[in-house]
Amino acid sequence: MIDYGKLEQSLQRLEEQHANHLRGNPALSGLDREGIAESVIQRFETCYDCLWKVLKRHLIENLGVADPPNSPKPVFRIAHESLRFSTPLEQWLRYADARTDTSHDYDGEKAKACLELVPNFINDTIDLYETMSGRTWR
């Protein structure tokens, strides 16, 4: 049985911090707003990592894929063919690239590009979570 707990927690925290970022409290200093943006990116990274690892487990346990690769892009390619998710594969690959691009760079254009992807990532992750788990998100 697949444990979705870490994915659920990381997705919930990403949603919460992204909402915090969108509120953009003008009373906060620029440094504080920057810290919140960096936190959103870190939570995106954590959620992305949890998602592809749960997806790999789903491929093994529920779809019988023997020995899938231990890397996110190939896992998403295999899963996209097997699960027929609504989000195009290219979008999942953009998320993978954003994850890689932000691993050591939380400012500048890469961070901005990642922050722009977060709302779609949240929605797509919820959709994939519901597909894999058979549960409704919240």
Report pLDDT digits (tens) over 95-136: 999 999 887 766 688 889 999 999 999 999 999 999 999 999
Residue 81 resides in a domain: yes
| List of residues 6+ apart from 81 with CB closer than 8 A | none
Residue 29 resides in a domain: yes
Under 8 Å between Cβ of 99 and 46? no
- 138, pLDDT greater than 70: yes
CATH code, domain with 24 = 1.20.120.330
Under 8 Å between Cβ of 4 and 12? no
> What pTM was estimated for this model as a whole?
0.93
pLDDT of residue 106: 61
Tell me: the pLDDT tens digits for 31-76?
888 899 999 999 999 999 999 999 999 999 999 999 999 999 999 9
Residue 9 resides in a domain: yes
Residue 65 resides in a domain: yes
Number of domains in the chain: 1
Tell me: the pLDDT tens digits for 3-24?
999 999 999 999 999 999 988 8
Residue 47 resides in a domain: yes
What domain range includes position 123?
5-133
Residue 138 resides in a domain: no
Residue 62 resides in a domain: yes
